[in-house]
Structure 1
Protein backbone atom coordinates (compact mmCIF):
# COMPACT_ATOMS: atom_id res chain seq x y z
CA UNK A 1 0.00 0.00 0.00
CA UNK A 2 1.29 3.47 -0.85
CA UNK A 3 2.65 5.51 2.03
CA UNK A 4 0.36 8.57 2.23
CA UNK A 5 0.78 11.49 4.60
CA UNK A 6 0.01 15.14 4.11
CA UNK A 7 3.09 17.30 4.39
CA UNK A 8 3.61 20.99 5.00
CA UNK A 9 6.38 21.82 2.48
CA UNK A 10 7.38 24.86 4.53
CA UNK A 11 7.93 22.86 7.72
CA UNK A 12 11.50 21.83 6.94
CA UNK A 13 13.86 21.12 4.02
CA UNK A 14 13.07 17.41 4.46
CA UNK A 15 9.30 18.04 4.20
CA UNK A 16 9.82 20.17 1.10
CA UNK A 17 12.00 17.46 -0.46
CA UNK A 18 9.31 14.84 0.24
CA UNK A 19 6.47 16.95 -1.13
CA UNK A 20 8.38 17.68 -4.34
CA UNK A 21 9.22 14.01 -4.75
CA UNK A 22 5.56 13.04 -4.42
CA UNK A 23 4.41 15.81 -6.78
CA UNK A 24 6.89 14.94 -9.52
CA UNK A 25 6.36 11.19 -9.13
CA UNK A 26 2.61 11.60 -9.52
CA UNK A 27 3.10 13.89 -12.53
CA UNK A 28 5.18 11.10 -14.08
CA UNK A 29 2.30 8.70 -13.32
CA UNK A 30 4.55 6.34 -11.40
CA UNK A 31 3.66 4.43 -8.26
CA UNK A 32 6.11 4.31 -5.36
CA UNK A 33 6.99 0.73 -6.29
CA UNK A 34 7.53 1.64 -9.95
CA UNK A 35 9.84 4.50 -9.05
CA UNK A 36 11.62 2.27 -6.57
CA UNK A 37 12.34 -0.24 -9.33
CA UNK A 38 13.88 2.53 -11.43
CA UNK A 39 15.99 3.75 -8.50
CA UNK A 40 17.05 0.23 -7.46
CA UNK A 41 15.36 0.57 -4.07
CA UNK A 42 12.05 -0.42 -2.51
CA UNK A 43 8.79 1.43 -2.97
CA UNK A 44 8.66 1.57 0.82
CA UNK A 45 11.84 3.65 0.88
CA UNK A 46 10.37 6.06 -1.68
CA UNK A 47 7.29 6.35 0.53
CA UNK A 48 9.36 7.00 3.64
CA UNK A 49 11.24 9.81 1.89
CA UNK A 50 7.97 11.27 0.57
CA UNK A 51 6.54 11.37 4.09
CA UNK A 52 9.72 12.81 5.64
CA UNK A 53 10.26 9.67 7.72
CA UNK A 54 13.57 8.88 6.04
CA UNK A 55 16.42 11.20 5.11
CA UNK A 56 17.54 10.59 1.51
CA UNK A 57 21.16 10.19 0.49
CA UNK A 58 23.02 12.14 -2.15
CA UNK A 59 23.17 9.02 -4.34
CA UNK A 60 19.39 8.59 -4.04
CA UNK A 61 18.94 12.24 -5.02
CA UNK A 62 21.16 11.96 -8.09
CA UNK A 63 19.31 8.84 -9.27
CA UNK A 64 16.03 10.60 -8.65
CA UNK A 65 17.06 13.55 -10.79
CA UNK A 66 17.98 11.19 -13.62
CA UNK A 67 14.77 9.14 -13.31
CA UNK A 68 12.38 12.09 -13.18
CA UNK A 69 14.52 14.41 -15.35
CA UNK A 70 14.33 17.23 -12.84
CA UNK A 71 17.36 19.20 -14.01
CA UNK A 72 19.23 18.53 -10.77
CA UNK A 73 16.51 19.69 -8.37
CA UNK A 74 17.02 16.99 -5.75
CA UNK A 75 20.82 17.12 -6.00
CA UNK A 76 20.54 20.80 -5.06
CA UNK A 77 18.03 20.19 -2.28
CA UNK A 78 19.96 17.38 -0.61
CA UNK A 79 22.58 19.75 0.78
CA UNK A 80 19.89 21.72 2.63
CA UNK A 81 18.23 18.52 3.81
CA UNK A 82 21.42 17.08 5.26
CA UNK A 83 22.45 20.38 6.82
CA UNK A 84 19.10 20.45 8.62
CA UNK A 85 20.05 17.17 10.31
CA UNK A 86 22.88 18.87 12.19
CA UNK A 87 22.10 19.99 15.77
CA UNK A 88 20.36 23.36 15.73
CA UNK A 89 23.08 24.99 17.80
CA UNK A 90 25.76 23.75 15.37
CA UNK A 91 24.12 24.85 12.11
CA UNK A 92 25.28 28.51 12.26
CA UNK A 93 28.89 27.34 12.56
CA UNK A 94 28.49 24.85 9.69
CA UNK A 95 27.22 27.67 7.48
CA UNK A 96 30.24 29.83 8.34
CA UNK A 97 32.61 26.88 7.89
CA UNK A 98 31.27 26.33 4.36
CA UNK A 99 32.04 29.97 3.46
CA UNK A 100 35.50 30.16 5.02
CA UNK A 101 38.60 30.50 2.88
CA UNK A 102 40.97 29.57 5.72
CA UNK A 103 40.23 27.15 8.58
CA UNK A 104 42.56 26.68 11.54
CA UNK A 105 41.61 24.12 14.18
CA UNK A 106 43.15 22.64 17.30
CA UNK A 107 41.53 19.39 18.44
CA UNK A 108 42.29 18.00 21.88
CA UNK A 109 40.20 14.82 21.84
CA UNK A 110 38.89 13.91 18.39
CA UNK A 111 39.79 14.16 14.72
CA UNK A 112 38.22 17.30 13.24
CA UNK A 113 34.85 16.56 11.60
CA UNK A 114 36.03 17.53 8.11
CA UNK A 115 38.70 14.81 8.26
CA UNK A 116 36.69 12.03 9.91
CA UNK A 117 35.99 8.77 8.07
CA UNK A 118 32.38 7.52 8.02
CA UNK A 119 33.22 4.69 10.45
CA UNK A 120 34.96 7.02 12.89
CA UNK A 121 32.09 9.53 12.70
CA UNK A 122 29.57 6.74 13.27
CA UNK A 123 31.39 5.63 16.41
CA UNK A 124 31.58 9.19 17.76
CA UNK A 125 27.99 10.16 16.97
CA UNK A 126 26.55 6.83 18.07
CA UNK A 127 27.44 7.47 21.70
CA UNK A 128 24.53 9.84 22.28
CA UNK A 129 22.33 9.76 19.17
CA UNK A 130 22.01 6.12 18.03
CA UNK A 131 18.40 6.66 16.91
CA UNK A 132 19.44 9.16 14.20
CA UNK A 133 22.86 7.78 13.43
CA UNK A 134 22.56 7.41 9.64
CA UNK A 135 21.28 10.96 9.27
CA UNK A 136 23.96 12.42 11.53
CA UNK A 137 26.78 10.62 9.73
CA UNK A 138 25.42 11.67 6.32
CA UNK A 139 25.28 15.29 7.51
CA UNK A 140 28.88 15.15 8.70
CA UNK A 141 30.06 13.66 5.41
CA UNK A 142 28.14 16.38 3.56
CA UNK A 143 30.19 19.02 5.40
CA UNK A 144 33.33 17.49 3.92
CA UNK A 145 32.25 18.36 0.39
CA UNK A 146 33.85 21.78 0.79
CA UNK A 147 37.26 20.09 0.56
CA UNK A 148 36.41 18.81 -2.93
CA UNK A 149 35.08 22.00 -4.45
CA UNK A 150 36.99 23.89 -7.14
CA UNK A 151 38.39 26.41 -4.65
CA UNK A 152 38.56 24.58 -1.32
CA UNK A 153 39.52 26.36 1.89
CA UNK A 154 43.07 26.23 3.18
CA UNK A 155 42.87 24.08 6.30
CA UNK A 156 45.44 23.75 9.08
CA UNK A 157 44.70 21.02 11.61
CA UNK A 158 46.58 20.46 14.86
CA UNK A 159 45.71 17.26 16.69
CA UNK A 160 46.81 16.54 20.22
CA UNK A 161 48.78 13.30 20.29
CA UNK A 162 46.07 11.89 22.57
CA UNK A 163 43.71 11.87 19.56
CA UNK A 164 45.85 9.20 17.94
CA UNK A 165 45.73 6.92 20.98
CA UNK A 166 42.07 7.32 21.95
CA UNK A 167 40.51 4.25 20.37
CA UNK A 168 37.24 5.32 18.77
CA UNK A 169 35.11 2.45 17.51
CA UNK A 170 37.67 -0.32 17.25
CA UNK A 171 41.26 -0.86 16.15
CA UNK A 172 40.14 -1.33 12.55
CA UNK A 173 38.21 1.95 12.65
CA UNK A 174 41.23 3.77 14.05
CA UNK A 175 43.54 2.26 11.49
CA UNK A 176 41.26 3.47 8.72
CA UNK A 177 41.03 6.92 10.31
CA UNK A 178 44.79 7.34 10.72
CA UNK A 179 45.34 6.09 7.18
CA UNK A 180 42.87 8.73 6.01
CA UNK A 181 44.87 11.41 7.84
CA UNK A 182 47.99 10.20 6.06
CA UNK A 183 46.23 10.64 2.71
CA UNK A 184 46.49 14.41 3.27
CA UNK A 185 50.27 14.23 3.68
CA UNK A 186 50.87 15.88 0.30
CA UNK A 187 47.56 17.71 -0.06
CA UNK A 188 48.12 21.26 -1.37
CA UNK A 189 45.48 22.89 0.86
CA UNK A 190 45.34 20.69 3.98
CA UNK A 191 48.07 20.56 6.61
CA UNK A 192 47.91 18.09 9.49
CA UNK A 193 50.23 18.48 12.49
CA UNK A 194 50.42 16.59 15.77
CA UNK A 195 51.10 18.30 19.11
CA UNK A 196 53.23 15.73 20.97
CA UNK A 197 52.90 14.82 24.62
CA UNK A 198 56.44 16.09 25.23
CA UNK A 199 55.37 19.69 24.76
CA UNK A 200 53.80 19.75 28.22
CA UNK A 201 51.74 22.87 28.94
CA UNK A 202 50.66 24.71 25.81
CA UNK A 203 48.36 27.39 24.34
CA UNK A 204 45.50 24.93 23.78
CA UNK A 205 45.09 23.82 27.41
CA UNK A 206 41.61 25.38 27.58
CA UNK A 207 40.33 22.98 24.90
CA UNK A 208 39.58 22.60 21.21
CA UNK A 209 38.86 25.67 19.11
CA UNK A 210 38.54 26.81 15.51
CA UNK A 211 39.45 30.01 13.70
CA UNK A 212 37.71 30.86 10.42
CA UNK A 213 38.92 33.48 7.96
CA UNK A 214 36.98 34.93 5.05
CA UNK A 215 37.72 36.99 1.97
CA UNK A 216 35.32 39.82 2.82
CA UNK A 217 34.13 39.23 6.40
CA UNK A 218 35.73 39.45 9.87
CA UNK A 219 37.51 36.42 11.29
CA UNK A 220 35.46 34.16 13.57
CA UNK A 221 36.47 32.19 16.65
CA UNK A 222 34.46 29.08 17.55
CA UNK A 223 34.46 26.71 20.50
CA UNK A 224 31.78 24.44 21.89
CA UNK A 225 30.59 23.02 25.17
CA UNK A 226 28.38 20.00 25.83
CA UNK A 227 25.28 21.24 24.04
CA UNK A 228 26.12 24.65 22.62
CA UNK A 229 28.55 26.41 20.32
CA UNK A 230 30.13 29.80 21.01
CA UNK A 231 31.04 31.91 17.99
CA UNK A 232 32.45 35.43 18.10
CA UNK A 233 34.18 37.98 15.88
CA UNK A 234 35.43 40.01 18.85
CA UNK A 235 38.78 41.47 17.66
CA UNK A 236 40.50 40.90 21.00
CA UNK A 237 39.45 37.24 21.11
CA UNK A 238 40.60 36.76 17.51
CA UNK A 239 43.93 38.44 18.32
CA UNK A 240 44.58 36.28 21.37
CA UNK A 241 43.52 33.00 19.80
CA UNK A 242 45.46 33.70 16.59
CA UNK A 243 48.63 34.18 18.64
CA UNK A 244 47.76 31.06 20.61
CA UNK A 245 47.32 29.07 17.42
CA UNK A 246 50.63 30.30 16.04
CA UNK A 247 52.30 29.08 19.24
CA UNK A 248 50.61 25.69 18.88
CA UNK A 249 51.88 25.41 15.32
CA UNK A 250 55.39 26.27 16.48
CA UNK A 251 55.23 23.60 19.20
CA UNK A 252 53.70 20.90 16.99
CA UNK A 253 55.66 18.42 14.93
CA UNK A 254 56.34 19.35 11.33
CA UNK A 255 54.04 18.08 8.62
CA UNK A 256 56.53 15.32 7.84
CA UNK A 257 57.21 14.50 11.49
CA UNK A 258 53.48 14.36 12.18
CA UNK A 259 52.91 11.94 9.31
CA UNK A 260 55.72 9.73 10.61
CA UNK A 261 54.17 9.64 14.09
CA UNK A 262 50.69 8.91 12.73
CA UNK A 263 52.08 6.07 10.63
CA UNK A 264 53.97 4.63 13.59
CA UNK A 265 50.95 4.72 15.90
CA UNK A 266 48.78 3.21 13.16
CA UNK A 267 51.10 0.23 12.81
CA UNK A 268 52.17 -0.27 16.42
CA UNK A 269 48.84 0.32 18.13
CA UNK A 270 46.26 -0.54 15.46
CA UNK A 271 48.15 -2.87 13.17
CA UNK A 272 46.76 -6.27 12.25
CA UNK A 273 47.51 -8.50 15.21
CA UNK A 274 47.65 -12.30 14.87
CA UNK A 275 44.85 -14.20 16.57
CA UNK A 276 45.44 -16.43 19.61
CA UNK A 277 45.67 -19.55 17.46
CA UNK A 278 48.31 -18.14 15.13
CA UNK A 279 51.86 -19.12 15.92
Structure 2
Protein backbone atom coordinates (compact mmCIF):
# COMPACT_ATOMS: atom_id res chain seq x y z
CA UNK A 1 0.00 0.00 0.00
CA UNK A 2 1.25 3.48 -0.77
CA UNK A 3 2.69 4.89 2.46
CA UNK A 4 1.26 8.27 1.55
CA UNK A 5 -2.29 6.91 1.43
CA UNK A 6 -4.12 7.12 4.73
CA UNK A 7 -5.49 3.73 5.72
CA UNK A 8 -9.22 3.45 6.05
CA UNK A 9 -10.95 2.49 9.25
CA UNK A 10 -12.23 -1.10 8.98
CA UNK A 11 -15.93 -1.21 8.16
CA UNK A 12 -18.13 -3.64 10.02
CA UNK A 13 -21.37 -5.00 8.53
CA UNK A 14 -23.40 -2.58 10.64
CA UNK A 15 -21.28 0.33 9.38
CA UNK A 16 -21.99 -0.76 5.80
CA UNK A 17 -25.68 -0.87 6.70
CA UNK A 18 -25.46 2.66 8.07
CA UNK A 19 -23.55 3.96 5.06
CA UNK A 20 -26.19 2.55 2.71
CA UNK A 21 -28.94 4.10 4.82
CA UNK A 22 -27.25 7.49 4.55
CA UNK A 23 -26.90 7.17 0.76
CA UNK A 24 -30.55 6.19 0.34
CA UNK A 25 -31.70 9.02 2.64
CA UNK A 26 -29.73 11.60 0.68
CA UNK A 27 -31.03 10.18 -2.60
CA UNK A 28 -34.56 10.60 -1.23
CA UNK A 29 -33.70 14.22 -0.40
CA UNK A 30 -34.52 13.76 3.27
CA UNK A 31 -32.62 15.26 6.19
CA UNK A 32 -31.94 13.22 9.30
CA UNK A 33 -34.63 15.28 11.01
CA UNK A 34 -37.16 14.48 8.28
CA UNK A 35 -36.37 10.77 8.32
CA UNK A 36 -36.61 10.81 12.10
CA UNK A 37 -40.14 12.16 11.84
CA UNK A 38 -41.11 9.24 9.59
CA UNK A 39 -39.44 6.70 11.88
CA UNK A 40 -40.74 8.42 15.03
CA UNK A 41 -37.32 8.85 16.56
CA UNK A 42 -34.79 11.62 17.10
CA UNK A 43 -32.36 12.83 14.41
CA UNK A 44 -29.58 11.79 16.78
CA UNK A 45 -30.76 8.19 16.61
CA UNK A 46 -30.79 8.36 12.80
CA UNK A 47 -27.20 9.63 13.04
CA UNK A 48 -26.30 6.63 15.20
CA UNK A 49 -27.89 4.29 12.64
CA UNK A 50 -25.91 5.87 9.79
CA UNK A 51 -22.63 5.72 11.71
CA UNK A 52 -23.13 2.04 12.53
CA UNK A 53 -23.20 2.72 16.27
CA UNK A 54 -26.75 1.43 16.66
CA UNK A 55 -29.11 -0.77 14.68
CA UNK A 56 -32.78 0.09 14.19
CA UNK A 57 -35.43 -2.15 15.68
CA UNK A 58 -37.38 -4.31 13.21
CA UNK A 59 -40.28 -1.82 13.42
CA UNK A 60 -37.93 1.11 12.83
CA UNK A 61 -36.43 -0.66 9.81
CA UNK A 62 -39.88 -1.16 8.32
CA UNK A 63 -40.67 2.53 8.80
CA UNK A 64 -37.34 3.43 7.18
CA UNK A 65 -38.25 1.31 4.16
CA UNK A 66 -41.63 3.00 3.86
CA UNK A 67 -40.09 6.47 4.16
CA UNK A 68 -37.38 5.76 1.58
CA UNK A 69 -39.44 3.55 -0.72
CA UNK A 70 -36.90 0.75 -0.45
CA UNK A 71 -39.40 -2.13 -0.53
CA UNK A 72 -38.28 -3.93 2.64
CA UNK A 73 -34.56 -3.65 1.81
CA UNK A 74 -33.43 -2.42 5.24
CA UNK A 75 -35.79 -4.71 7.15
CA UNK A 76 -34.43 -7.77 5.31
CA UNK A 77 -30.80 -6.71 5.75
CA UNK A 78 -31.40 -6.11 9.46
CA UNK A 79 -32.25 -9.78 9.93
CA UNK A 80 -28.71 -10.67 8.87
CA UNK A 81 -27.25 -8.11 11.27
CA UNK A 82 -29.29 -9.03 14.33
CA UNK A 83 -26.55 -9.51 16.88
CA UNK A 84 -26.31 -11.63 19.99
CA UNK A 85 -23.94 -9.13 21.57
CA UNK A 86 -24.60 -5.96 23.54
CA UNK A 87 -24.72 -2.82 21.38
CA UNK A 88 -21.41 -1.51 22.70
CA UNK A 89 -19.62 -4.78 21.89
CA UNK A 90 -21.20 -5.93 18.63
CA UNK A 91 -18.79 -4.02 16.38
CA UNK A 92 -15.82 -5.31 18.37
CA UNK A 93 -16.91 -8.93 17.90
CA UNK A 94 -17.16 -8.31 14.15
CA UNK A 95 -13.72 -6.69 13.99
CA UNK A 96 -12.14 -9.62 15.86
CA UNK A 97 -12.98 -11.75 12.83
CA UNK A 98 -10.96 -9.40 10.57
CA UNK A 99 -7.98 -8.66 12.82
CA UNK A 100 -4.51 -9.94 12.04
CA UNK A 101 -3.13 -8.91 15.44
CA UNK A 102 -5.01 -8.72 18.75
CA UNK A 103 -3.27 -7.34 21.83
CA UNK A 104 -5.42 -7.61 24.92
CA UNK A 105 -4.95 -6.53 28.51
CA UNK A 106 -7.13 -7.83 31.33
CA UNK A 107 -7.34 -6.06 34.66
CA UNK A 108 -9.51 -8.31 36.81
CA UNK A 109 -10.88 -11.26 34.83
CA UNK A 110 -9.77 -13.55 32.03
CA UNK A 111 -10.46 -12.08 28.56
CA UNK A 112 -13.57 -13.50 26.90
CA UNK A 113 -11.63 -15.06 24.02
CA UNK A 114 -9.75 -17.27 26.50
CA UNK A 115 -12.49 -18.19 28.97
CA UNK A 116 -13.36 -21.82 29.59
CA UNK A 117 -17.03 -22.76 29.71
CA UNK A 118 -17.01 -23.16 33.49
CA UNK A 119 -15.24 -19.85 34.07
CA UNK A 120 -17.58 -18.01 31.69
CA UNK A 121 -20.61 -19.53 33.40
CA UNK A 122 -19.38 -18.33 36.79
CA UNK A 123 -18.80 -14.83 35.40
CA UNK A 124 -22.28 -14.62 33.88
CA UNK A 125 -23.88 -15.98 37.05
CA UNK A 126 -22.16 -13.33 39.17
CA UNK A 127 -23.87 -10.35 37.55
CA UNK A 128 -27.30 -11.77 36.79
CA UNK A 129 -29.54 -11.36 39.81
CA UNK A 130 -32.15 -13.85 38.60
CA UNK A 131 -30.32 -16.18 36.26
CA UNK A 132 -31.91 -19.16 34.57
CA UNK A 133 -29.82 -22.16 33.49
CA UNK A 134 -30.93 -21.82 29.87
CA UNK A 135 -29.87 -18.15 29.81
CA UNK A 136 -26.45 -19.03 31.19
CA UNK A 137 -26.12 -21.86 28.67
CA UNK A 138 -26.86 -19.50 25.79
CA UNK A 139 -24.41 -16.88 27.04
CA UNK A 140 -21.65 -19.48 27.38
CA UNK A 141 -22.27 -20.82 23.87
CA UNK A 142 -22.06 -17.30 22.42
CA UNK A 143 -18.76 -16.69 24.18
CA UNK A 144 -17.40 -20.05 23.02
CA UNK A 145 -18.36 -19.26 19.42
CA UNK A 146 -16.36 -16.02 19.65
CA UNK A 147 -13.25 -17.99 20.55
CA UNK A 148 -13.38 -19.87 17.25
CA UNK A 149 -11.56 -16.91 15.71
CA UNK A 150 -8.44 -18.35 17.36
CA UNK A 151 -8.73 -21.62 15.45
CA UNK A 152 -7.51 -22.42 11.96
CA UNK A 153 -4.53 -21.30 9.88
CA UNK A 154 -5.74 -17.70 9.49
CA UNK A 155 -6.14 -17.01 13.19
CA UNK A 156 -4.81 -13.67 14.41
CA UNK A 157 -1.58 -13.25 16.30
CA UNK A 158 -2.69 -12.94 19.92
CA UNK A 159 -0.86 -11.14 22.72
CA UNK A 160 -2.32 -11.43 26.22
CA UNK A 161 -1.20 -9.25 29.10
CA UNK A 162 -2.76 -10.08 32.46
CA UNK A 163 -2.68 -8.18 35.72
CA UNK A 164 -1.79 -10.60 38.53
CA UNK A 165 -5.24 -9.90 39.98
CA UNK A 166 -6.67 -12.01 37.16
CA UNK A 167 -4.75 -15.01 38.46
CA UNK A 168 -5.63 -14.49 42.11
CA UNK A 169 -9.37 -13.77 41.97
CA UNK A 170 -11.08 -17.13 42.46
CA UNK A 171 -13.91 -17.25 39.92
CA UNK A 172 -16.16 -20.31 40.12
CA UNK A 173 -14.14 -22.04 42.84
CA UNK A 174 -10.66 -23.51 43.04
CA UNK A 175 -11.06 -26.24 40.43
CA UNK A 176 -12.73 -23.96 37.87
CA UNK A 177 -10.03 -21.38 38.37
CA UNK A 178 -7.26 -23.95 38.12
CA UNK A 179 -8.73 -25.32 34.90
CA UNK A 180 -8.93 -21.83 33.45
CA UNK A 181 -5.32 -20.99 34.25
CA UNK A 182 -4.06 -24.34 32.97
CA UNK A 183 -5.91 -23.62 29.72
CA UNK A 184 -4.16 -20.26 29.34
CA UNK A 185 -0.80 -21.87 30.08
CA UNK A 186 -1.43 -24.60 27.50
CA UNK A 187 -2.26 -22.04 24.81
CA UNK A 188 0.93 -20.16 25.64
CA UNK A 189 3.05 -23.33 25.56
CA UNK A 190 1.52 -24.30 22.20
CA UNK A 191 2.51 -20.91 20.77
CA UNK A 192 -1.11 -19.86 20.23
CA UNK A 193 -0.74 -16.74 22.32
CA UNK A 194 2.06 -14.59 23.68
CA UNK A 195 1.54 -14.41 27.45
CA UNK A 196 2.83 -11.85 29.95
CA UNK A 197 1.78 -11.09 33.51
CA UNK A 198 2.02 -7.76 35.32
CA UNK A 199 2.87 -8.77 38.91
CA UNK A 200 1.62 -6.94 41.96
CA UNK A 201 5.23 -6.05 42.66
CA UNK A 202 5.30 -3.82 39.57
CA UNK A 203 3.13 -1.34 41.42
CA UNK A 204 1.35 1.32 39.38
CA UNK A 205 1.28 0.70 35.64
CA UNK A 206 -0.05 2.41 32.52
CA UNK A 207 -3.20 0.26 32.21
CA UNK A 208 -4.31 -0.01 35.82
CA UNK A 209 -7.50 1.99 35.13
CA UNK A 210 -9.04 -0.07 32.33
CA UNK A 211 -9.00 -3.19 30.23
CA UNK A 212 -7.76 -2.58 26.70
CA UNK A 213 -7.87 -4.41 23.38
CA UNK A 214 -5.84 -3.29 20.38
CA UNK A 215 -6.59 -4.67 16.91
CA UNK A 216 -4.55 -4.30 13.74
CA UNK A 217 -5.62 -5.23 10.20
CA UNK A 218 -4.00 -5.97 6.87
CA UNK A 219 -5.83 -3.28 4.91
CA UNK A 220 -7.25 -0.89 7.48
CA UNK A 221 -6.21 1.42 10.28
CA UNK A 222 -5.83 -0.03 13.79
CA UNK A 223 -8.45 0.45 16.50
CA UNK A 224 -8.58 0.28 20.29
CA UNK A 225 -11.38 -0.82 22.59
CA UNK A 226 -11.89 0.01 26.28
CA UNK A 227 -14.76 -1.23 28.41
CA UNK A 228 -16.48 -0.52 31.72
CA UNK A 229 -19.68 -1.57 33.44
CA UNK A 230 -22.48 -1.85 30.84
CA UNK A 231 -20.53 0.25 28.37
CA UNK A 232 -17.62 0.13 25.97
CA UNK A 233 -15.90 2.46 23.54
CA UNK A 234 -14.36 1.55 20.20
CA UNK A 235 -11.67 4.12 19.41
CA UNK A 236 -10.58 4.79 15.83
CA UNK A 237 -9.27 8.35 16.16
CA UNK A 238 -5.57 7.94 15.23
CA UNK A 239 -4.28 10.03 18.15
CA UNK A 240 -6.30 8.02 20.71
CA UNK A 241 -5.25 4.73 19.16
CA UNK A 242 -1.59 5.77 19.29
CA UNK A 243 -1.93 6.76 22.94
CA UNK A 244 -3.56 3.40 23.68
CA UNK A 245 -0.74 1.58 21.90
CA UNK A 246 1.80 3.55 23.94
CA UNK A 247 0.02 2.67 27.18
CA UNK A 248 0.06 -1.01 26.23
CA UNK A 249 3.77 -0.86 25.43
CA UNK A 250 4.52 0.87 28.74
CA UNK A 251 2.58 -1.72 30.71
CA UNK A 252 4.20 -4.55 28.78
CA UNK A 253 7.61 -3.17 29.66
CA UNK A 254 6.76 -3.65 33.36
CA UNK A 255 5.58 -7.24 32.88
CA UNK A 256 7.37 -10.49 33.65
CA UNK A 257 9.12 -12.39 30.86
CA UNK A 258 7.25 -15.12 28.98
CA UNK A 259 8.95 -17.84 31.03
CA UNK A 260 8.33 -16.10 34.34
CA UNK A 261 4.72 -15.34 33.37
CA UNK A 262 4.03 -18.94 32.42
CA UNK A 263 5.57 -20.18 35.67
CA UNK A 264 3.43 -17.76 37.70
CA UNK A 265 0.24 -18.84 35.91
CA UNK A 266 1.06 -22.52 36.53
CA UNK A 267 1.88 -21.85 40.18
CA UNK A 268 -1.36 -19.92 40.68
CA UNK A 269 -3.32 -22.79 39.12
CA UNK A 270 -1.74 -25.27 41.55
CA UNK A 271 -2.53 -23.00 44.47
CA UNK A 272 -6.19 -22.85 43.42
CA UNK A 273 -6.24 -26.64 43.11
CA UNK A 274 -4.95 -26.94 46.69
CA UNK A 275 -7.47 -24.39 47.86
CA UNK A 276 -4.92 -21.83 48.98
CA UNK A 277 -6.02 -18.22 49.25
CA UNK A 278 -4.09 -14.97 48.85
Coarse TM-score class (shorter-chain normalised): 0.5 to 0.7
User: Once the 2 structures are TM-superposed, how far is the Cα of residue 189 of structure 1 from its aligned partner?
Assistant: 4.0
Q: How far, CA to CA, are the matches of 1:162 and 1:231 in structure 2?
A: 25
Could you say what secondary structure the match of 2:204 adopts? coil
Q: How far, CA to CA, are the matches of 2:122 and 2:236 in structure 1?
A: 32
Maintained 8 Å contact 2:96/2:215? yes
Matched, 1:227 2:226: no
Q: How far, CA to CA, are the matches of 1:205 and 1:267 in structure 2?
A: 26
Maintained 8 Å contact 1:108/1:159? yes
Aligned match of 2:248 in 237, 245, 252?
A: 245
Maintained 8 Å contact 2:162/2:198? yes
Maintained 8 Å contact 1:152/1:189? no
Q: How far, CA to CA, are the matches of 2:155 and 2:210 in structure 1?
A: 26
Q: How far, CA to CA, are the matches of 2:88 and 2:248 in structure 1?
A: 25
Equivalence map 1:110-125=2 (5 Å): 110-125=109-124
Q: Return 5+ residue gaps in structure 2 as ranges.
A: 1-79
Maintained 8 Å contact 1:175/1:271? no
Distance verdict in 2 for CA 1:91–1:198, change over 3 Å: same
Could you say what secondary structure the match of 2:138 adopts? helix
- Which residue of the partner structure matches residue 159 of structure 1? 162
Matched, 1:265 2:268: yes
- Which residue of the partner structure matches residue 88 of structure 1? 87
Could you say what secondary structure the match of 2:143 adopts? helix
User: Once the 2 structures are TM-superposed, how far is the Cα of residue 188 of structure 1 from its aligned partner?
Assistant: 3.0
1:195-230 Cα shifts (integer Å, max 9, x gaps) = 000111111122111111111111111011211210
Maintained 8 Å contact 2:88/2:233? no
CA RMSD of aligned residues (A): 1.8
- Which residue of the partner structure matches residue 72 of structure 1? none
Q: Return 5+ residue gaps in structure 1 as ranges.
A: 1-79, 274-279
Q: How far, CA to CA, are the matches of 1:127 and 1:92 in structure 2?
A: 25
Q: How far, CA to CA, are the matches of 2:192 and 2:272 in structure 1?
A: 29
- Which residue of the partner structure matches residue 107 of structure 2? 108
- Which residue of the partner structure matches residue 213 of structure 2? 210
- Which residue of the partner structure matches residue 39 of structure 1? none
Aligned match of 1:254 in 257, 266, 272?
A: 257
1:49-97 Cα shifts (integer Å, max 9, x gaps) = xxxxxxxxxxxxxxxxxxxxxxxxxxxxxxx79x833223211110011
Distance verdict in 2 for CA 1:219–1:203, change over 3 Å: same
Matched, 1:137 2:140: yes
- Which residue of the partner structure matches residue 48 of structure 1? none
Maintained 8 Å contact 1:103/1:154? yes
Maintained 8 Å contact 1:103/1:153? yes
TM-score scaled to structure 1, two decimals? 0.66
Higher RCO structure, 1 or 2 (CA under 8 Å, sep 6+): 2
Matched, 1:147 2:146: no
Could you say what secondary structure the match of 1:103 adopts? strand
